[in-house]
Structures are given as C-alpha cells and as structure tokens.
Structure 1
Amino acid sequence: MEDKKIDRRVAKTRMHMIQTTLELLRKNSFSKISVSDICEEAMISRSTFYTHFEDKFALLDACMQQIGQELLHDIESADPRSRHNAMITAIEADARLFRNIFINGKTEELQTIFFNHCHKDLLAIIEMQTNAGHQFPDPPEAMAAFYAGGISSMLNWWITNNFPVSAQEIINCQNHLMTALFPDEL
C-alpha cells in the first residue's frame, strides 16, 4: 500500500515540475531557463530535480509529451475534417509557449506530433471519401503522408517565424491547398 502513495507523490512532483516549466516557457525561451529557475519556481531542491530528470533537456522532453497530449485531447472531439483547424487555433492560443520552444530549435517531437495527427486524420478523410465512391489514383498512405508533411512544415514555419499571419489565414491556406485532394470535404 505504501508503494502506491510513493508512486503518486513521485508522479505529482514530476507533473508539478512539468507544469512549472511550461509556465516558465510562456515567459522565456528554454535557453534562458536554468535548473535553478525551475527549482525556485517549483519550490523543490536541485536533488529533487535530478531525482526526476537527468537534466533540463530531459524535462523539456517530458514537457513536449505533455503538450502533445494536451493538443490531442483538445482536438480529438472534433470531426477529422476540422481537427487541423482546431490544432492551429490551439497553437495560436498559446503562441508564446510554442514560440519559446521553437526558438530553441526543439521542434522534432512537436513536428512528429503534428505529422502523426495530420496523417491519421487525412487517412480518415480519404477513407470517408473512398466509402462515398471517390477513387484516388495513389496509395492513401502516401497521399496522407505528403499532405501531412506539408501541413506540419507549414505549422513549423508559422511558429518559428513568430506567427506572421493569423490562424485564420493559415486555416484558409491549408484548406485551399487541400481542395485538390478533397474538393467536397473542406
């Protein structure tokens, strides 16, 4: 019974550290945040920090996983055709956090999250189109990968360039580019 309490405390401390780091990332770029800053803000000792994470980069990886889970949770209830729009809106709503992460060049994990999400949704849309009688000239997985790569790269460009256009302009651009693939869906 005692082990479960320890596991919950460990999980709670770890989650507190992640949430604290996310709050710090809303204020500063990752490169400007030190382990001492995290410890001070989370009100933990350095030894507690290093009990949970090897270094601040390992903590950032945990933060990226948390962001990915939150993004997916926010958009999973949406119809596959509108999930991309929901993702763009969610990113814009927390623009400073995303910008401060992407400034540091730590984009691989979020890029993968963006790509996988888009790929899954595009496959669902292709399946709906196929079930409705539309025939595609290319393998669905390849088409979904092509468009998902474009969408995830566009999101990367948008964030790393400090949101030079509005979320609605990105949504319109994305929908326009995809009308060739899904003329009746978007």
Structure 2
Amino acid sequence: MRGDGVVKVRDQRRAALLESLGELLQESDLDSINIADISRRAGVTRSAFYFYFESKHLAVAALMEQVYDGAMLATERFADPDLSPAERVRGMVTTLFDTVEEHTHLFRAMLDARGQSPAVREMWDSDRQSFVGLVADLVRTERAAGRAPDGPDPDALAAMLLELNDRALGRLTLGTLDRDALTEAVVSIWVRSIFATDPATDLETA
C-alpha cells in the first residue's frame, strides 16, 4: 500500500509540472520559461523537476502526448471507405489542423524544442515514422480494392506525405500561410498522389 501511495504522489507531481508548463506556454514562449518558473508554479522543487524530465524540451515532448489522439483520429478519418477520396483526405487534414489550432501554444513550443534538442527531434521523427506503416497499409488496401491505381512504393509514398503534413503543421502553427489555402494544397497533393494516375507515367507517355 505504501508503494502505491508513493507512485500516486509521483504521478501527481509529474502531472502538476506538465500542467504548470502548459499554463506558462500560454503566457510566454519556451525560450522565456525556465525550470524554476515551472517548478515554482507546480509547487515542487527544481530537483523534483529533474527527477521526471532531463530538460524543459523533453517536458514539452511529454506534454504533446495529450494531442496524439488527434493524429490517430485523423488517420481513422482517412481510412473511412464510405467517403470519397477527397472527403477522406479533407477529413484527415481538417482534424489535424483543428488539433493544432486548439493547442497552438504546444505546437509552437514543440517546434522550438525540436529545433534545440536532438533528443526531442529524434522523438518527433520516431512518432511520425510510427504512422508510416498505417498510411502505407491503407494505400495498399486502396490499390487492392481498385480504388487507387498502382504507383510508387507505398512506404516511401507514405513517408513523403507525412513529411508534407509535418511541414504544413509548422506553417499553420507559425501562421505563415492561410489555413484554407494550406488545406486545399495539402488535400490536393494527397489525393493526386494516392488516387490519381502516376504523374511520372503520364509524362513518359505524353
């Protein structure tokens, strides 16, 4: 019983630190926040912070876990066979963009953390890679069902399309492109890449 109590306290402290960081990120950018700020607001010591996280950058990565459900939901939207290709892709992109706009402060902090911490960058790349197999399998399913033509290697195609999503999320977070224009561009590239004929083949036969 005593051990369970210790674990519960540790979980509460970790949650308090993440909540503190989330609140601070809504008030300021990551570079302006230090470990003392996070610990003080959470009501714990600096040493307690380092018990859970090696750096504020890794704490941001942990905080991002709460938005991963949005990424999974986006994949589910793409997999719905009852919708047209454009509707499926648009549903995926809309869900992703809604998630970003709901947590803009977190995505902005994650962009900063990814640029400053090799460990966070590796985690981000690994998380994106974890979706490659899902998207590639969906592409194979569409081709086998005759809903999509043969084309590039599904794994390579999925990796490139997810890279596109990555860049699009960054653009949306930083506000460098209008959301509607960005949505139309991303939807068009996904639909053409998966469901249209291979552009390379078209050029060869033109």
TM-score class, shorter-chain normalisation, is: 0.7 to 0.9
SS in 1 for 2:194: coil
Between the aligned partners of 1:156 and 1:28, the Cα distance in structure 2 is 18
Q: Which residue of 2 aligns with 1:60?
A: 60
Between the aligned partners of 1:16 and 1:79, the Cα distance in structure 2 is 35
Deviation at 1:6, TM superposition (A): 1.1
Between the aligned partners of 1:103 and 1:61, the Cα distance in structure 2 is 11
Q: TM-score, normalised by structure 2?
A: 0.72
Q: Is the 8 A contact 1:68 1:110 kept in 2?
A: no
Q: Which residue of 1 aligns with 2:84?
A: none
Higher helix share: 2
Identity level (%): 17
Q: TM-score, normalised by structure 1?
A: 0.78
Q: Does 1:98 align with 2:107?
A: yes
Q: Does 1:176 align with 2:185?
A: no
Give unmatched runs, 5+ long, in structure 2.
Answer: 80-87, 197-206
Q: Does 1:29 align with 2:41?
A: no
- Higher mean C-alpha deviation, range 138-147 or range 76-85: 76-85
Between the aligned partners of 2:128 and 2:139, the Cα distance in structure 1 is 18
Give unmatched runs, 5+ long, in structure 1.
Answer: none
CA RMSD of aligned residues (A): 2.7
For residues 61 and 98 of structure 1, do their structure 2 counterparts lie closer, same or farther at Cα, with a shift above 3 Å needed?
Answer: closer
Q: Counterpart of 2:138 in structure 1: which amino acid?
A: I
Q: Is the 8 A contact 2:74 2:92 kept in 1?
A: yes
Q: Which residue of 1 aligns with 2:150?
A: 136
Q: Is the 8 A contact 1:115 1:152 kept in 2?
A: no
For residues 74 and 175 of structure 1, do their structure 2 counterparts lie closer, same or farther at Cα, with a shift above 3 Å needed?
Answer: closer
Higher relative contact order (CA 8 A, sep 6+): 1
- Higher mean C-alpha deviation, range 12-21 or range 52-61: 52-61
Deviation at 1:74, TM superposition (A): 5.4
Q: Which residue of 1 aligns with 2:94?
A: 85
Question: Larger Rg: 1 or 2?
Answer: 2
- Higher mean C-alpha deviation, range 163-172 or range 77-86: 77-86
Aligned residues between the structures: 180
Which aligned segments of 4 or more residues in structure 1 are displaced greater than 6 angstroms? Answer: none
